[in-house]
Each structure stands twice: as structure tokens, then as C-alpha cells.
Amino acid sequence: MALDRWIALIFLGICLTYGYTAWFTMDDGLAPFMRRNPVWPSTFPKVLSVFGSVAAFIILLGLEKGEEKIGEIDYRRLHEYKLGQALLLLGLMVVYALCLRPIGFLISTASFLLLGSFILGERKWHIMLLIALSATFVVWYLVQEVLGIYMRPLPAFIIALIGG
């Protein structure tokens, strides 16, 4: 079996486990008044598990290839793929997750977007900076002000200096 099908099989297992918890265990602790709502906290995980399972089945059955033969991923030639970029991005994601609380959302997210686009090969710093800063601020504003979910925008010592 090709590498993409092995990955799809693992992904299917993850989606089925995620779906099981979304369908059968997440809603047990809901308050009675929330059980009458049309959208529950488990609605989005249920949709994700269904879509993920369908996508995994499509790859497992080979339906995504169609008539045109797409090149298979050859695990013996992994050194020829851009594995370094993928590993650097995964490491950057871990560092981003660890830096969110101490550094704050704005600085860590803008840095993640800048470094991520640099790793992927973008070299136009003025465009990268504009997109990273605007996307970071828009997401922070929507989550903080529109949804009302507090996210620490800056490090704690800067917030203390500002007096916020």
C-alpha cells in the first residue's frame, strides 16, 4: 500500500476516535437548558469528524486520482522531498503554541506568520510584514471584541507598564 494510503488510514483512525468522542461523550455533561439549543458545543467536532472520515475514505479507495495518474509518494525517496521545510514548520508550530501565553497573541502570531512564510520561500519582507500584522490584528480583534473571548495581546510586563 502506498504511503498516502497509510497516512489516510491513520487519519481515518484519528477521525473515528474524534467522532466517537464528539457523538457519544461530549454532550453528556451539558446543562438541561443547553440540550434544547440547535447548536451544541459538539456540533463542529461532529462535522469535522464526518468530513475527515469522508476525505480519508476517498484517499483509501483511490477516488481522488481519477483518470490522470498522480505521482505516488515514494518513501524510499523521502530525502528528495522538502522534508526540512515541513519539519521546520512543525517545530515553529510547537514554539508558537509555547509562546502564546508568555509573549502574547499579537507578537507570537505575527512572528509565526513571518517566519512561516520565510520558511516556505517568500522573500518580500514588506508584503510579509503587511499581511502578518494585518491578519494578526484582524483575528485578535474578532476574537477579543466581537466574540468576547479574552486573549492576552501583549506580554504581561508590557500590559503592566501601559496600565491595562
Kindly give, in sequence order, each residue whose CB lies less than 8 Å from that of residue 46, ignoring residues fewer than 6 positions away. Answer: 19, 22, 23
- Specify the range with the lowest mean pLDDT, choosing from 57-71, 85-99, 100-114, 119-133: 57-71
Average pLDDT, the chain: 84
Between helices 83-103 and 105-119, what is the axis angle to 10°? 170
What is the predicted pLDDT for the residue at 155? Answer: 79
Residue 146 has pLDDT above 90, yes or no: no
Task: Determine the distance from the C-alpha atom of residue 60 to the mean position of all C-alpha atoms in its chain, rounded to a whole number.
Answer: 23
Residue 23 has pLDDT above 60, yes or no: yes
Distance CA 164, CA 156 (A): 10
Distance CA 119, CA 85 (A): 6
Percent of the chain with pLDDT over 70: 90
Residue 6: phi, psi to the nearest 5? -65, -45
Please report the DSSP string for 62-73 in residue order: TTTS-SS-PPPP
Instruction: Please give the residue that has the higher pLDDT: either 142 or 146.
Output: 142
What Cα–Cα distance (Å) separates residue 145 from each residue in 82, 129, 148? 39, 23, 5
User: pTM of the full predicted structure?
Assistant: 0.56
Cβ atoms of 120 and 85 within 8 Å: the answer is: yes
What Cα–Cα distance (Å) separates residue 13 from each residue in 20, 45, 52, 74? 10, 15, 10, 22
pLDDT confidence band for 37 (50 / 70 / 90):
confident
What's the number of CA atoms in the CB half-sphere (13 Å) around residue 131?
13
